[in-house]
Structure 1
Amino acid sequence: MKKEFAVIGLGRFGGSIVRSLTEQGMEVMAIDINEDRVNEFASTATQAVIADTTDENVLKSLGIRNFDHVIVAIGDNIQSSILTTLILKELGVKHITVKAQNDYHEKVLRKIGADHVVHPERDMGRRIAHYIVSTNVLDYLELSEEYSIVEVMVNDLLAGYTLVELDIRAKYGLNIVAIKRGKEIIVSPLANAPLQLNDILIIIGADTDINRFEKKVLVE
């Protein structure tokens, strides 16, 4: 069965979620108080609705509690974001993800029951910073405040060595959970198999250890 999603707030962040979910074949209701934004997604989303989501009766009329997942992507209006989240929680929505503007906003959202809070601008900033430091860092995903997963391309300093020889776990406290080699993904890679140039290492560990590894091995 297809999952049903509702996205509240159709700015750059919310709009990109609507497009991505729709491309994956999901049922998506796109909601915004701005008529122009709603019209923009009328032909993309399953349903596009003009609505004030700070009004509990409006949300009830949309059948919002029946959706599997509601994403609150309201832009600069923190008050509307908090009130909408609170109402969704009280109505019994199964899963709520909310975009936070800052750390204070996140604290309030978590206190009122948001299941997941995202900081798209901050997180993208961190990804870009890691890419700037080293062009070998292909992607960066924050797991928590202290731990992340990174995708690292094998450079001349790493190529030809085995995982045993590099001993990344002992030296840096990092775990290599898989290797991408072309279209192949090698899970639990052999410790005595030499790495190849342009292999992609999927590494998990503490941010401080990842930073140390980047500066020591990846900066060119």
Structure 2
Amino acid sequence: MNKKEFAVIGLGRFGGSICKELSEEGMQVLAIDKDEDRVNGYKNIASHAVILDSTDEDALKEIGISNFEHVIVAIGENIQASILTTVILKDLGVRKVTVKAQNDYHEKILTKIGADKIVHPERDMGKRLAHNFISSNILDYLELSDDHSIAEVKAGMKMVGKSLIDLDIRARYGCNVVAIKQGRDINVSPRADALLKEDDVLIVIGADIDLSRFEKHLVIDD
């Protein structure tokens, strides 16, 4: 398998964590920031690390930014730099540009100028934490679109000892169980008649409103 080539612009907490994760997964990563100390911190983590002002179009051309399949703009508080960088990247023909948005206004502008994907790390993490606060059985929560998500839930006491047939999750709640994790094993086509055990983890996908009903009725233990 060919390694994908990524560039991460902005090596703050968010950009730095993306850079580190991609590198650990064996991807080719170019780490970019205008702060020398930050860049030096990633010289031994990323494939390459350069000091560069991403609002300088000539500098981006010089490093061949258009050759990268995916560029992540993770610039922190400087919304103007984030917007200008995104415009330059799209003008240079970068195939996929993902941008961190600071707020809804920032997102609207990024949408208008052609950002391919916009992320709100703080908002998304807030949603994940909120679901975890509701119940320790809700292990993870990932937004797929404005109104659909995927949840990773531990089998609650209302589910243990019952099968997927007994629970009838799809008919009752409109959600689909796409896999069941049992320890390190992941069963992507779980038997409908198999009884759920206490440590089983269900991967459930559905509309947010349906997932909410499912969680309230089956996941959250009284």
Short-chain TM bin? over 0.9
Aligned to 1:197: 198
> C-alpha separation between the residues in 2 aligned to 1:24 and 1:190?
32
> C-alpha separation between the residues in 2 aligned to 1:168 and 1:45?
44
SS of 1:13's equivalent?
A: helix
Matching of residue 43 in structure 1 with residue 44 in structure 2: yes
SS of 1:101's equivalent?
A: coil
> C-alpha separation between the residues in 1 aligned to 2:108 and 2:189?
37
Aligned to 1:142: 143
Q: Hey, which bits of structure 1, 4+ residues long, moved more than 6 A?
A: none
What code does the residue aligned with 1:63 have? G
Aligned to 1:63: 64
Aligned to 1:4: 5
SS of 2:115's equivalent?
A: coil
Aligned to 1:216: 217
> C-alpha separation between the residues in 1 aligned to 2:167 and 2:27?
44
> C-alpha separation between the residues in 1 aligned to 2:186 and 2:25?
22
Identity of aligned residues (%): 63
Structure 1 segment 1-220 matched on structure 2, within 5 A: 1-220=2-221
> C-alpha separation between the residues in 2 aligned to 1:40 and 1:188?
43
**Could you tell me how far 1:60 is from its partner in structure 2?**
0.5
> Structure 1 regions of 5+ residues with no counterpart?
none
> C-alpha separation between the residues in 2 aligned to 1:185 and 1:138?
16
SS of 2:140's equivalent?
A: strand
> C-alpha separation between the residues in 2 aligned to 1:109 and 1:211?
30
What code does the residue aligned with 2:208 have? D
> C-alpha separation between the residues in 2 aligned to 1:183 and 1:62?
42
> C-alpha separation between the residues in 1 aligned to 2:24 and 2:163?
40
**Could you tell me how far 1:194 is from its partner in structure 2?**
1.4
> C-alpha separation between the residues in 2 aligned to 1:193 and 1:45?
45
> Structure 2 regions of 5+ residues with no counterpart?
none
**Could you tell me how far 1:218 is from its partner in structure 2?**
2.1
> C-alpha separation between the residues in 2 aligned to 1:163 and 1:218?
14
**Could you tell me how far 1:112 is from its partner in structure 2?**
1.2
**Could you tell me how far 1:188 is from its partner in structure 2?**
2.4
Aligned residues: 220
| TM-score (norm. length: structure 1) | 0.96
> C-alpha separation between the residues in 2 aligned to 1:213 and 1:27?
40
Aligned-pair Cα RMSD in Å: 1.1
SS of 1:6's equivalent?
A: strand
> C-alpha separation between the residues in 2 aligned to 1:18 and 1:183?
26
> C-alpha separation between the residues in 1 aligned to 2:68 and 2:188?
35
- Preserved contact between residue 19 and residue 46 of structure 2 (Cα < 8 Å): yes
> C-alpha separation between the residues in 1 aligned to 2:3 and 2:166?
47
What code does the residue aligned with 1:50 have? I
> C-alpha separation between the residues in 2 aligned to 1:11 and 1:46?
18
**Could you tell me how far 1:183 is from its partner in structure 2?**
2.1
